[in-house]
Every structure is written in C-alpha cells, then in structure tokens.
Amino acid sequence: MKRSFEAIVVGAGPAGSAAALVMAKAGVDVALLERGNFPGEKNMFGGMLHRMPSLEEHFSEYWNQAPLERHVSKKATIFMTNDAHVNVCMDWEDFDKPPYNGYTVFRPRWDNWLAEEAVKAGATLINRCTVDDLIMKDGKVVGVKTLRDNGEIYAPVVVSCEGVLSFLADKMKMRKKFNPAKMAVGCKCLLDMPKQMIDDRFSLVRDQGVAYEYVGVSMGVRGGVALYTNRDSVSVNMVCHIGSLGKSGITLYDMMNNFLEQPQMAKLLNGAKLSEYSAHAIPEGGYEMIPQLNADGFLICGDAAAFCNATGINLEGINMATHSGILAAKAVIAAKENKDYSKGGLDLYRKLIEDSYVYKDLKTFKRAPGLLHDDRIFQKYPDFALDMIKKIYQITGEPKQNMTMLVLKHMLTNGKVSVMDLASTVWTAWRGL
C-alpha cells in the first residue's frame, strides 16, 4: 500500500467523501480512510437528507444518480398523548418538484455511493483502516498511525471527519470538553413495510415520502421522535438529551417501545416487522460546541466540528457536514498551490466556514438549544395544547368563551401550566428562534 499522499481524510462519511471527491477532482492525491468494511457500514442513520446545492455543483441532478429512498413531499410536527394527537402538516407543491427539498436515505448506501464517486475522481479509498494516532513533526501534523502492520501514512494535511466522538480533535486539544447538556443520543428502529402499504397509510404516490416529528412522547424526558418513510420500510428515530435521560432512570429502548405501543402508532404501523435497533451520539450544542477548526496540517469537519443544527423545528446534519467537507477541500487545494499547510495557510477553511450558511445558521440559532432544555415542552405543554384544542372543537351545548378567557380559565383550573410558565417559554423561543 502506498504510504505517502498529498492529503489524508479520516472517515468516509458525507463530510469525508465530499472532501475527498472535490480534492481528487482538482488533482490532489488524497487517501480516504474508513474503519468499516465499506463506507457507511458503521452508520445507523435512517432519516432525511436535505437538499445540498453545493453538491449539485459537482453532480447534475444527483437525485437521479444517488441511492435515495423517497423525496419528502410532506413534513409534519405532531403533538401526541396517549389518547390524542394534533398534526401540523406542511404539504407544498414545490416539495413535489425537483430539485426536491429533502430525501429519505439509508446512510450505508448513500455513504458508499459518495465514496465511490470520490474513487472515480481519483481518490484512494482504504477500508478496514482504523486511525489510532497522529504523526507529528516540529509541532505539525504530517500523517496518521493506523492499526495495521507498518500502518504509518504520511501527508502534509489531515482532515478529520470522524464524527461526534472525534478523538483526533481531542488529541490536538481542539475539541471542547463534552457536556451532557449539549449532547443527545439517538435510537433508530427500522420497520419493514411493503411499499403499497406505506403509500396507502401515508397517502403517497410514486416515490413521495413523509417526515413526521412527534412531541410529547418521550415520557417526560427532553426529546422527541421522528418517523421517515423509505421505499419499503419505515425509520423511527428517537432522540433524547443525555443529561435528561440519565436523570430519568428510563432506558431509551423502553421509551421507544412505549412510543410504538401508543394506540395511534400501533394503528399506523400495524403489519410492519421489526428489522433492526441501533443507537449513536449526536452533537446538539450547536454554535457553542464549534471547536477550533484548523491547526498546522490539520482540519476538522462535519459532526466532529459540531456542524449540526438542532433547533427543535428542524434537524440538519448531513447537508452541513457535506458542505463543510467541500469547503475543507477548497482550503487544501489552495494550500497545495501555495505550498503552505500551516495553520495560517489553512485558515481559508475557517474563513469559508464563517462565510457559509453552516456557521451563520448555527450562530443565528445559537440560543435554540436552550429552548430544548425547557422540560415543560416535554412534560406539560402537549397535554395542555391537546386539552385546549379539545375544548375548542367539542360541542357541549354550552356557550363558548373567547380564546384568551379559555386559556386563562384552563390555566387556573388545570394547574399544570401557569401564565408565568407560558410567558417564560415564549420568551425563550423568541430569543432562540
């Protein structure tokens, strides 16, 4: 195996493969290292891939080339309790026209496809290659050590795309200490269901898909559930804050089973067969978690750089990771031309990131994670909202009150939500969103 390259990318996820693809197309001799048997083997994601204009620059109509499941034509937020639910659904005509707003994907297929495209462009993909350490010379990164015989691989720049638990960033002392309040754990349940059954249950045609987000179903723990339709299966993803989950004494699998046994879900998923369970960590601290991005011979991308936007309204990760990988590649290409891989020579990456939607969106919504720390959203408001809606629509033969009086009366008699509770949450939401 060749032991020297012009660049090394660690991790063949969306960020890593996108970085290797763009570098290879520009003539950079780049090695893409993957610890699994193939790219995506270690990934459990089964969810939504948002549109990526930056990738469209390298593929004309990639939605006709990539292994996508369905395009998301409907998106909904659902407040649910044991006996009721309210559905706020977005179903615009534009969602059903290419280039689509988002797609459901299986990361093993998607990651493998993107890595293969990088190989076609000239990148060297090395599977079953676990990076154990960095090689340093005069304070600069000059390569990596892998868990292989004679496992040293050299290059003037290493791009870390290892994911949220990036230990290379930790070794470089560039990553901030993990805080349970800024981390989440995701649990995925994959249910096999025939395509026709999915189409009938969710009112879909052709390759249309849905993305449903549920609130009030996490047994009081800070978190929620997202459901995505694939071609012939349904992905149910439960995401919970690690700190809140630890204090609750409830297991993630108990929460998942409780959700699947809800009457509404049991009816919707009747006939589906459990295929797999899996779990992984997710960075949810947003802007406050972003580490130092560049050092001498070293860059950090994707989840390793906390490029994940979790506002509670939307969850973006793959698109941000991919875009960061593309920007890292541009910085490496410029560094090669200038023969300067120092921190200053690679500072173009930091500048490109700070000028991109990735950084700007995370900064704009930097207070949004605080809203997700409001326990009332998960413990009180779903019941309160559904009780209110029931009173509005229920016909009893009695005169109806106006909305303000109805809300105030319900607060005074119900006792679960106070005026101060509501005012505090509205203030936090206004500041965060």
Q: Which pair of tokens denotes residue 337?
A: 């031309």
Helix (H, G, I), strand (E, B) or coil at 64: helix
pLDDT number for residue 273: 94
Domain 180-283: which CATH number of 3.40.50.1010, 3.40.350.10, 3.30.9.90, 1.20.120.350: 3.30.9.90
Q: Which pair of tokens denotes residue 321?
A: 């990771």
pLDDT number for residue 157: 98
β-sheet bridge partners, residue 235: 190, 228
Q: Which pair of tokens denotes residue 260?
A: 């699947």
Residue-wise pLDDT tens digits, 99-128: 788 899 888 888 999 999 999 999 999 999
Q: Which pair of tokens denotes residue 25?
A: 């197309």
Backbone angles phi, psi at 216, to 5 degrees: 100, 10
Residue-wise pLDDT tens digits, 19-48: 999 999 999 999 999 999 988 877 766 678
The whole-angstrom separation of Cα 411 and Cα 215 is 21
pLDDT number for residue 131: 94
What residue has token string 């106006």? 402
Give the mean pLDDT of 79-84: 80
pLDDT number for residue 56: 82
**Domain segments of the chain: what residues?**
7-69+104-178+286-365, 180-283, 370-432
pLDDT number for residue 127: 94
* pLDDT band at residue 280 under the 50/70/90 scheme: confident
The whole-angstrom separation of Cα 309 and Cα 382 is 23
Residue-wise pLDDT tens digits, 401-421: 776 766 666 666 666 666 566
The whole-angstrom separation of Cα 360 and Cα 158 is 25
Q: Which pair of tokens denotes residue 392?
A: 């509005």
| CATH architecture for residues 7-69+104-178+286-365 | 3-Layer(bba) Sandwich (3.50)
Helix (H, G, I), strand (E, B) or coil at 335: helix
- Which residues, including other chains, have CB under 8 Å from residue 103's CB and lie 6 or more apart? 48, 49, 63, 68, 69, 70, 71, 72, 209
Residue type, 330: K
* pLDDT band at residue 387 under the 50/70/90 scheme: confident
